[in-house]
A and B are shown apart, each in its own frame.
Chain A
Amino acid sequence: MLNLLIQGLALSGLYALIAVGFTMIFSVGRVLNLAYGTYIMLGGYVYFTIVQEQGLPKVAGFAGALIAGGLFAVIVYEFLVRRLEGNPKAVSISTLILAVAMQALIVLIYRPTSKSMWPVINGVFRYEEIFVTYNVIVATVTSWVALGGLLILVRYTQFGRAVRAVSMDRKGAVISGIDPERMNRATWMISGALGALAGVFFATYTQLFPSMWVWPLIIAVAVVVVGGIGSIIGSLIVAHIIGFMEVVTTTYIAAELRGVFTMLLIIIVLVMAPKGLFGRGDI
């Protein structure tokens, strides 16, 4: 029982981290970035290449993953999303096409077979009946630190105020001397880096394979849509609902049905309460 609780908390923390980068883009630019899953994939594969194939230190792996994710996100923004601005349908279609193309790129470089990813830190923490791998602990702690840092950045810094200003009223922000393009680029970069960071840990949970981007994307969509757009607290709560739902389903019903309830949740909430469960707050 206690193991279940810990597993649930750990998975939920990771899911919150996966979702938060997606939420950021969505609440600032109202852009549905379906290429978000590829940041996660990119993070996992870059870390794998640096640490497991080249044998470099793990810090270098994390740095590489974060840089790759952030850089890729900025490229996507500059060359794709900015050109289609004002047409959300075109953005969602083209980012989906991009995601499939990136999947093909991964197949080209790494072959379609799945790669096994070592845990970031080996070993198991054991206390009486509780077993937790250190990897899970590190993933959870990192998630919470990243989430907390982001919350502080958005709420209490000049940069965060500027980003929020752009999301509320672009013209007003320009008048106050904020360059919205720069803010958008910075937001995309942070989103990409967060996605890649989540990707490293996600890959230690699930292994690396070319279509691994689909599931995190669905998680991110579910968290954002069900939590209510722009509500960071709502997102956190929903990440926990989904995480616990998944752990409970895997333990008590069947591992294959893991995703079914998440999908049902998305469909039901979108149909019943299109604004999400927790309305719209601010980020």
Chain B
Amino acid sequence: MIPYRQLAGWAVFGGVMCLLPLVLPPGILRMVIFANFLAIFALSWDFISGRTGYVSFGHPFLIAIGAYSTAILSFRFDWPLIISIPSAVLITVISGLFFFVPALRIRGTYFALVTLAFMELAYQLTQVLRPDITGGTRGISGITSIVSGAVPNFYLSFSILFVAALLLWFLARTRMGTALAAVRMDEGAVTASGLSTIRLKLFAFGVSALVAGIGGAFYVHYLGSIAPRAMFDINFLFQILVAALIGGSTTIAGPIIGAFFLTFLLEYLRPFIDGPERFLIFGSVALIVYVLKPNGIYSILESGYGLALARFRRFRPEGGPAK
């Protein structure tokens, strides 16, 4: 069955986003660009952590591998971007599979701890090992940009987001997606049905790393600079996590909604408090939403939509029980 309604949703989403540069000033458009990248990262996180239940606290590590690889290859070794970006993505996927090794032995919260340790390890190592290549604590600046100006960058970032989201949406709808959801619920049962959980998880980690690598590589060329503290940072992890969770984990629309919500909320808090203190309000909102509505904004929208639809079609018989 072809999911007409969801395809229509994709078309509307794509159409509206493509029209944005016509109405928005460049300042706001730059926020949208950031939201696009954050949405890519949140989608990538959610594909491992939401779908298979292996919570990754080291996602900035994967993104940073992609970003650092292309930055170093293009800036230090003068590789053209058309080669450096794919190489960076490949390196990230390989690191993602390496990242996966602990997941063979441990699960649940311990996996989260190992990934957190990975991130802190990478943070310390990039500063100390070969600072002539990584730029040490200061990082690298003056990285070539792909396109310049807010509008072209918006279209570039949005097309990456759109393609990544479509790919993940398609994968989630295949039998593979169902199997991955089953891994979250009961790994033993998946093995008992004759599926290899190792292969399934390997696949999920590979896909997640692919998306993270693409996002990271293009992000660094958009920013033009990179530094260890901006990348291997718990605040960065926090933004990714919160975007995915507040929007709605295990969905495709959820992390995108969450990323936009996070970016705009943080931006509109700027006149009142302008530093990292904004995370206080944001963290509190995120916690309240998470404790009360673990499935995020998406589930609120969905139930609102369902209610409206039910009213419209009079699904509920008169005086019947409300569900």
A contacts, CB < 8 Å to B: 32, 80, 83-84, 88-90, 92-94, 96-101, 103-105, 107-108, 112, 210-211, 214, 218, 221, 225, 254, 256-257, 259-260, 263-264, 266-267, 270-271, 274
Contacts and interface: CB of A to CB of B under 8 A. Distances in A.
Nearest to B113: A221
A139 B109 CA distance: 32
Nearest to B184: A89
Contact of A263 (B117, B286, B287, B291): B117
Nearest to A101: B283
A96 B241 contact: yes
Contacts of B110: 225, 270, 274
Contact of A108 (B53, B101, B273, B287): B273
B276 A112 contact: yes
10 contacts: A32-B109, A89-B108, A105-B277, A210-B276, A256-B124, A259-B124, A260-B121, A266-B117, A271-B114, A274-B105
Interface string B67-103: 0000000000000000000000000000000000110
A225 B53 CA distance: 21
Contacts of A101: 279-280, 282-284, 287
Chain B interface SS verdict (over half): helix
Contacts, number: 123
A89 B120 contact: no
B203 interface: no
Contacts of B234: 96, 99-100, 211, 214
B113 A270 contact: yes
B125 to A, nearest CB: 7
B114 A97 contact: no
A256 B125 CA distance: 9
Nearest to A273: B105
Looking at B121, B290, B294, which has the most chain A CB atoms within 10 Å of its CB? B121
A104 B109 contact: no
B277 A108 contact: yes
